[in-house]
Each structure stands twice: as structure tokens, then as C-alpha cells.
Amino acid sequence: MRESIKQHSEKWLVIYHLIVALLAIASSVLAILMMLNIKVGLAGMVAYQVLLAFFVIDYIIRLIFTQNRKWFLINNAFDLLGILPMHPAFSLFRLARIFRMIRTHHLFWRLGISGKWTRDFHRFTYDTGFIYLFTISVVIICLSALLFSIVEHQTLSESLWWAITTATTVGYGDDSPRTAWGKLIATVLMLGGVGFIGLLTSTITDFFTDRTGQADEQQQQNEALTKQIQQLTREVSRLSKKVDQLKK
């Protein structure tokens, strides 16, 4: 009985996640049309606001019922960015729900396409902590851009460009903070953003360095195994000759 109830609830959970993924795609399409200044009409604007309300309610309910809110905030940082109403671009972060659905329900494994590359991808993104560093870096950049656009009275696109160039230490210098709050935001971004991006770079380097070391070790093991097989082959051949001689 319990097993039947569990399977039934899992079935409805899959359906719900599929609906959320489709709504995320729909809201992202609307956001892209709006950013390209393509008229979506009154129906499109209403649909966009309804989708925003849906994702806000979904996020709040999950936050209320989660057992570990700290972990929830970290693991669902893109969902939080996706419900910010300041600019349609934030809606694109809702697409993260698609990847979470794939991971939660092991869709690659269910579809029979799970293999070495999926294991390597999982090890790279989760075992190394890359996904969490990447999430924190994106959150820092987006929030800095949002606050910078407010205090410096600039468009979000210009502020986002400033935040990316600042966090990556490129700093073209064509845009700089003029207010005290803007300078404070820039300082936090430089300290936090540069630090996390540096960790991202070192994580990627360590992963591929480790893979190279593992490949070299595997090659040495294969060579040693090949030598052992060759020795065993020669020994079997020698013993076979002795057996033939004894038979004669």
C-alpha cells in the first residue's frame, strides 16, 4: 500500500516538474520577446505577470516547507533571481528548473543515455563544488548590477556589463561609480566576485589536472597489466611445450 502511494506521489511530482519546466520555457520566450522590443500585446503582458506570480508562490511554498533553508537558498539561488521583477532578463534564470528536473528524476538514466560523460559531468559540476561556486558568482554579479543600476541611475544592461567587466578584472574604465553607494557596491563586487571567480578558475584547473594524472596512472596500470599478460602467455607456451614433450 505504501509503495503504491509512493509511486503515485512520484508520478504527480514528475508531472508537476514537467509543467514547471514548460512554464519556465514559456516565460523565457516572453522575456526574450520583450527584451527585443517585440510587441507581445496585453495578453502577453498578463501571461508574463501570471507566470511571475506562479514562480513567486512556488518559491515561497518550497522555502516554507524545506527542512534546511540555508541549503535551499544556496541550491535554489537561480530560482530567486528568476522571480526578481526588475527586468525581463531575470526570467531566463527560470530555465534552471529544467536542469534540476533532469537531475532530480535521473532522466538521462531513464532514457538510457547515461554513461561516462554524464558521470564526468556530475563529478565536475557537483563533486568539485563547481556548480555552487558558479551559482554564487552569478548571484553576486546580478545583484551588484541590479543595485548599481538603482544607485547610479543606469540601465540594467549597462550595469550588468559593468559588473561582469569589474568581476573579471577587465575593467574597461568607460564606466565607473560616481556615488558613495556605487563605490561601495563596486568594492564588494571586486572583493567577492574576483574571489569566487578565482576559485572557479582553480576548480576547473584542478579538475582537468586531476583527470590528466588519473589518465597517466591508468596508462601505467595498463602497461603493467600488458606485461603480466605477456609473461603469462610465454609461461603457458613454455608449459605447453613441456606437456607435448612428456606425451612423446
In a domain, 38, yes or no: yes
Q: How confident is the model at residue 172 (pLDDT cuts 50, 70, 90)?
A: low
In a domain, 242, yes or no: no
Q: How confident is the model at residue 57 (pLDDT cuts 50, 70, 90)?
A: very high
In a domain, 231, yes or no: no
pLDDT score at 122: 64
The count of C-alpha atoms lying within 13 angstroms of the C-alpha of 61, restricted to the half-sphere facing its C-beta, is 6
pLDDT score at 41: 84
Question: What average pLDDT does this structure show over 150-154?
Answer: 84
In a domain, 94, yes or no: yes
Helix (H, G, I), strand (E, B) or coil at 171: coil
Looking at every residue in the chain, the average pLDDT score rounds to 77
**Which region among 115-119, 191-195, 200-204 has the lowest average model confidence (pLDDT)?**
115-119
Q: How confident is the model at residue 55 (pLDDT cuts 50, 70, 90)?
A: very high
pLDDT score at 156: 77
- For a pLDDT cut of 70, what percent of the chain falls above it? 74
Reported as a single tens digit per residue, the pLDDT across 205-248 is: 777 776 655 555 666 677 677 777 777 777 777 777 766 666 65
Q: How confident is the model at residue 106 (pLDDT cuts 50, 70, 90)?
A: low
CA distance linking residue 91 with residue 178, whole number of Å: 29
Q: How confident is the model at residue 60 (pLDDT cuts 50, 70, 90)?
A: very high
Helix (H, G, I), strand (E, B) or coil at 66: coil
In a domain, 128, yes or no: yes
CA distance linking residue 240 with residue 237, whole number of Å: 5
Domain containing 153 equals 2-222
In a domain, 234, yes or no: no
Helix (H, G, I), strand (E, B) or coil at 184: helix
- SS3 readout for 91-150: HHHHHHHHHHHHHHCCHHHHCCCCCHHHHHHHHHHHHCCHHHHHHHHHHHHHHHHHHHHH
- For a pLDDT cut of 90, what percent of the chain falls above it? 4
Reported as a single tens digit per residue, the pLDDT across 1-35 is: 555 555 656 777 778 888 888 888 888 888 888 87
Looking at residue 9, which CATH number applies to its domain? 1.10.287.70
pLDDT score at 38: 81
CA distance linking residue 166 with residue 157, whole number of Å: 14
Work out how many domains the chain is built from and give that number. 1
Question: What average pLDDT does this structure show over 67-79?
Answer: 83
pLDDT score at 2: 59
**pTM over the 0.85 mark:** no
**In the predicted structure, residue 185 carries a pLDDT above the cut 60:** yes
In a domain, 124, yes or no: yes
Question: What average pLDDT does this structure show over 161-166?
Answer: 83
Residue 181 contacts residue 108 (beta carbons within 8 Å): no
**In the predicted structure, residue 54 carries a pLDDT above the cut 70:** yes
In a domain, 232, yes or no: no
